[in-house]
Structure 1
């Protein structure tokens, strides 16, 4: 809540796409059927995929899951252009991942 945020630490930053911004994601995953690393390209429907970024996903073992994760990353890269940062007291360590 607002009571847990350190006063003056809340910031919103807007990121604008540049010429170097990736427009697709190449996902590397370990295929369980052939026991080799494979790559699948994930891009938004209107993207030409000229500047893909490569991401290696550990724990993904089939093409469909790799493609879904890549599509999520590609959509985040296009639509989630806000970065929000804040500081909290010790209570902020409670809801961490893992």
Structure 2
């Protein structure tokens, strides 16, 4: 997989259909905006422009980006037990 944001944008433009987006607008605008990092409620694109993520990643990042402490505890939990089926329950789910 390429790490070059321009190459990622080209591949996205050539192979991905964005829901709720007019494909011609993406073509006219030169392709999608490639986000390369996030911190708190701010995202940055490949050109260094910053954006306020007012939708919180469509609600799945409401605690903000770049939260090292959350990545750490998530990794610890995934090492112990990353998933259980609905009828069963993991201890960490009970404590949460």
TM above 0.5, yes or no, is no
Larger proportion of helix? 2
TM-score grouping bracket, smaller chain normalisation = under 0.3
Larger proportion of strand? 1
- TM-score in terms of structure 2 length: 0.26
With CA pairs under 8 Å and 6+ residues apart, which has the higher RCO, 1 or 2? Answer: 1
- TM-score in terms of structure 1 length: 0.25
